[in-house]
């Protein structure tokens, strides 16, 4: 077994759990045989560090109880049989030697295929084992809790088990991060990393290049209330996510060019900071000098880099952003560098644990939401409304109990993270939301 591989428990220890017994019964009904093993991968919330992982910067997430669970049985024939306990997701069968992942319509099974293909390619498996799989999930889909990445990670583990292979947690996180890109998203690796590297009782500072996870102990008495705005967005189904990635990539190129660096040699905003040997605060000053707030056209960007728009599209833009014509480079770069600084400050406060730690963390989280809303434009009206509702609801509580109302995002499918003292959470009742949210199914979506 690989060093630091995901834990494996005996079926005798876990299969009597009610949830597994129910899944086993459904598996037997579906496939007329019994599952040989089960795999679980958790969802996550990101406390701070929004949309900066793909720019090279550290993030600060933690895992949640909601998860993806798969019952599986290896087969002698090279066929994948995928089924879901939710009848709204259709069954899917395919040849394990001919995996085709369609980016135009990211159906649920494509995320499983990403994890499967990632392992298949990593080990150069010529005749991978077929698998019967029954998938069950408790993560609300398209809500910003990484249900899709959890499915990719779960699929990677299933494929490893079925084919008798092992990898370390870090190797799996890297593999699944890269393999999710088969579906067309240009993510940075946070979701997959916390899925494999999370530990009970602690958040994690996730750093990249190399991948590293450090425990971050949150202040005693802090409670995080999670609410879903009920807006769904599959980030692979639209170009919105990749547009932001490309804006950051273009900002990287122009920033490097403005400071006399080889723009072709840098890919992420962190690369520019590293080469310039400046602090994050100094990088914010560079952004103010280098960019104008108005959107940039392809022609202006190409002119600065010395290439024409056709070359720019071919060399820099992803396939599903080829038709984008304007880019907000100033706003995106400013968000990234400021958010990266907030992550480090968040970790510092947790480590030093001052008496007003919860209030200080709340201030940072509020700043993060404002930046996501105004600079990165990755919020939505419903989420902004939910933030305001939370703040209004909290006015009846002691001011010291309510330091922040903060959101995190997978993309425009949104949930909100409310940061409270333990005592205040008992007064933070769901009934306060109902008069404000109209027909929204808040009760069902409150985690």
Catalytic residues: 191
Helix, coil or strand: residue 139: coil
Q: What is the DSSP letter of 293?
A: S
Alpha carbon distance, N-terminus to C-terminus of the chain: 36
Cα separation, 137 vs 237, in Å, equals 20
Q: What is the DSSP letter of 6?
A: P
Helix axis angle for 329-352 and 280-290, nearest 10°, is 170
Strand partners, 297: 326
Q: Determine how many CB atoms are found less than 10 A away from the CB of residue 361.
A: 23
Helix, coil or strand: residue 405: strand
C-alpha torsion angle, residues 74, 75, 80, 81 (rounded to 10): -90
What's the maximum distance between 2 C-alpha atoms anywhere in the chain? 66
Q: Determine how many CB atoms are found less than 10 A away from the CB of residue 86.
A: 11
Beta strand 296-297 pairing with 326-327? antiparallel
Residue 77 burial by Cβ neighbours in a 10 Å radius (0-12, 13-18, 19+): exposed
Q: What is the DSSP string of 430-444?
A: GGGTHHHHTT--HHH
**Helix H or strand E segment including 68:** strand 60-75
């Amino acid at each position: 077994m690989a060093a630091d591989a995901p834990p494996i428990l005996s079926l005798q220890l876990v299969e009597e759990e009610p949830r597994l017994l129910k899944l086993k019964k459904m598996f037997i009904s579906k496939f007329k045989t019994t599952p040989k093993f089960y795999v679980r991968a958790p969802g996550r919330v990101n406390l701070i560090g929004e949309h900066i992982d793909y720019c090279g910067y550290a993030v600060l997430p933690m895992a949640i109880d909601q998860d993806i669970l798969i019952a599986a049985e290896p087969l002698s024939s090279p066929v994948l049989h995928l089924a879901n306990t939710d009848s709204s997701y259709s069954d899917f069968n395919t040849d394990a030697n001919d995996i085709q992942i369609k980016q135009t319509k990211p159906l649920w099974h494509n995320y499983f295929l990403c994890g499967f293909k990632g392992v298949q390619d990593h080990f150069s498996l010529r005749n991978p084992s077929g698998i019967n799989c029954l998938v069950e999930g408790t993560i609300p889909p398209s809500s910003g809790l990484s249900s899709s990445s959890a499915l990719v990670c779960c699929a990677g583990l299933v494929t490893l088990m079925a084919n008798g292979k092992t990898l370390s947690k870090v190797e799996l996180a890297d593999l699944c991060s890269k393999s999710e890109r088969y579906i067309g998203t240009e993510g940075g690796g946070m979701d997959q990393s916390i899925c494999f590297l999370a530990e009970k009782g602690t958040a994690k500072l996730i750093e990249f290049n190399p991948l590293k996870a450090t425990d971050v102990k949150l202040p005693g008495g802090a409670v995080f209330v999670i609410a879903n705005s009920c807006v769904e967005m599959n980030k692979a189904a639209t170009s919105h996510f990749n547009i932001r990635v490309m804006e950051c990539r273009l900002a990287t190129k122009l920033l490097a060019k403005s400071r006399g660096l080889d723009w072709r040699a840098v890919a992420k905003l962190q690369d520019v900071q590293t080469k310039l040997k400046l602090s994050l605060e100094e990088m914010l000053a560079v952004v103010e000098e280098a960019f104008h707030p108005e959107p940039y056209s392809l022609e202006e960007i190409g002119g600065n880099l010395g290439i024409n728009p056709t070359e720019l599209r071919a060399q820099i833009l992803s396939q599903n952003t080829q038709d984008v014509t304007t880019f907000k480079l100033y706003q995106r770069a400013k968000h990234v560098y400021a958010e990266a600084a907030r992550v480090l400050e968040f970790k510092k406060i947790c480590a030093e644990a001052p008496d007003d730690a919860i209030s200080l963390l709340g201030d940072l989280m509020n700043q993060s939401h404002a930046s996501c809303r105004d600079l990165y434009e990755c919020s939505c009206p419903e989420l902004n409304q939910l933030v305001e509702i939370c703040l209004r609801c909290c006015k009846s509580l002691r001011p010291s109990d309510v330091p922040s109302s903060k959101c995190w995002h997978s993309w425009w499918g949104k949930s909100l993270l409310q940061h409270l003292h333990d005592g205040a959470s008992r007064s933070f009742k769901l009934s306060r939301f109902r008069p404000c949210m109209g027909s929204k199914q808040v009760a069902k979506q409150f985690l």
